[in-house]
Amino acid sequence: SLAQDRAFAASMTIPEIELPADADRHTVASPGYATRPGEIVGVERVPPELIEIVRQAWSRPVVEPREIEVLRLRDVFVAGEGLVFDRERRLVRRSVTQQSAEDIRLAHRELERAIAAGALRERHGAAILCVKPGLRNYGHWLIEMLPMAGLADFVLAGERLPALVPDVEGPLAGVIADSLGLLGFPPERIVPALSAPERVDELVLVIGLTSHGGAMSPLVFQTLDRLADGIAPLPYYERLYVRRQWPPWRRLADDEAVTARLMAEGYVPYSPEQFPLAHQMGAFRTARQVIGPAGAALANIAFCRPGTEVAAFYPANMPDNFFSFIAQHRGLDFIDVRCEAAGPPRSHMPYDTDLKLDPAVLERLVASGARLAPRRKPSRWRKAVRFFKVR
């Protein structure tokens, strides 16, 4: 049982190494960039211990350049949500992202059991690992996993390696296929994998593009620019209200009333999961103002043009910088709106409650949207692709 596995794993000490001795290493220059503070509305609702976490994205006026690593490892195992172990089953520390100590022990336990049972899948040849925690979340895929494929494919140009991607179903599976297809990955190079431990002949890892809640490289957005190159803006989407329908938390308690009020002012209620990826990119590329609860669907602000006003509705006790990082890189006018909880948590996370939006804040956003001059003739967007510098 899972409880027995957890009890057993808790008593284990997992051997570790930084990298196998025979690993190949490329580095890619991630440029520095300037930041500017966003606005927090309802900051008085944020618990004091979380204030610094919330403001972390704006704490440094300049983020220094750094290096992103593209590593090639040979004869390794992959288990859990993207954890890598060498041929002696030692944890490769560079593969750890958001996994907890318990996650690591359980993945190691699962690997040992698969080997003992002779049930380990063998994957021959080389592949790019595009899996990390949050693998069932659209925003994590778009910002944190998809760019791994884009960068590795550029660095290893000509090899045309397959991408090992989350083994998911439903709309996200389609998004994964569509987004990789736009980057030049045909279906035969998209491999849903890692539902169980695997041994891989050669595994390519991209390290340092993002650290969830802590860092986000500008190179992420170079990949997204390639993704959206040639996608035309869509008319009628100047002001978007991004509705959160799933999962069933972090939604506005009075969503129907808010929707009616916004529609009366010309806002378009938009549920991205109901549209193909190209439509989502076009809609957000058109928008002058985007408002909605903080959740995966709001990650599409990565396709907005500089100067777009974005307001994200947060629970007061949610420590998150994901959307403010996107706003920094895209030059968006970002407003972090802290809301009261409307009821108890609906998941194991204390901040996964419904939200109560202050009516005065809603009217402020409506007034701000009314001042935005509409774009009369949306021109076709074709952004020039900037190229990576590899050494």
Backbone angles phi, psi at 101, to 5 degrees: -60, -35
Query: Using one digit for the tens of pLDDT, what is the confidence trace for 292-319?
Result: 999 999 999 999 999 999 999 999 999 8
Q: How many CA atoms lie within 13 A of 247 on its CB side?
A: 12
- Residue 194: enclosing H or E segment and its boundaries? none
> Count of residues for the chain?
391
pLDDT of residue 203: 98
140 close to 211: Cβ distance less than 8 angstroms: no
Phi-psi map region of 42: left, alpha, beta (phi>0 left; psi -120 to 50 alpha)? left
Question: What is the rounded CA–CA span in Å between residue 113 and residue 344?
Answer: 39
Instruction: Report the distance separating Cα 362 and Cα 217, nearest Å.
Output: 32
| pLDDT score recorded for residue 1 | 54
- Tell me if 178 sits within 8 A of 276, measured CB to CB: yes
Looking at residue 11, what is its pLDDT? 57
pLDDT score of 386 more than 50: no
How far, in Å, CA of 193 to CA of 140, rounded? 17
Rounded Cα gap, residues 150 and 185, in angstroms: 9
What stretches of the chain adopt beta strand conformation (E)?
16-17, 24-30, 33-34, 39-41, 62-63, 66-79, 83-85, 91-92, 121-129, 163-166, 190-193, 198-207, 210-211, 215-216, 239-242, 268-270, 289-293, 309-315, 333-341, 355-356
**CA-angle at 356, arms to 352 and 359, nearest 5°:** 155
d(CA 371, CA 314): 24
Which of 314, 304, 303, 288 is CA-nearest to residue 373? 288
The Cα–Cα gap between 145 and 151 comes to 10
How far apart are the C-alpha atoms of 136 and 293, rounded to whole Å?
18
Neighbours of 57 (CB within 10 A): 26
Distance CA 373, CA 381 (A): 19
359 pLDDT band, cuts 50/70/90, is very high
Stated pTM of the model: 0.89
Please tell me the distance from the alpha carbon of residue 241 to that of residue 268, in angstroms, as a whole number: 6
The secondary structure of 66-115 as a DSSP string is EEEEEEEEEEEEEETTTEEE-TT--EEGGG-SS--HHHHHHHHHHHHHHH
Whole-number percent of the chain with pLDDT over 70: 92
Could you report the per-residue pLDDT of 68-103, keeping only the tens digit for each? Answer: 999 999 999 999 999 999 999 999 999 999 899 999
Instruction: With cut-offs at 50, 70 and 90, classify the pLDDT of residue 379.
Output: very low
Q: Which residue has the tokens 């998004």?
A: 175
- 48 or 360: whose pLDDT is higher? 360
Contact 14, 283 (CB under 8 A): no
- For tokens 């629970």, the residue is 315
Supply the pLDDT for residue 72. Answer: 98
- pLDDT mean across residues, the chain: 89
Q: What is the pLDDT of residues 137-192, one digit of tens each?
A: 999 999 999 999 999 999 998 899 999 999 998 889 999 999 999 999 999 999 99
d(CA 191, CA 78): 14
User: Which residue, 51, 322, 71, 55, is CA-closest to 210?
Assistant: 322
Q: What is the pLDDT of residue 70?
A: 97
Can you name the residues that pair with 190 across neighbouring β-strands?
163
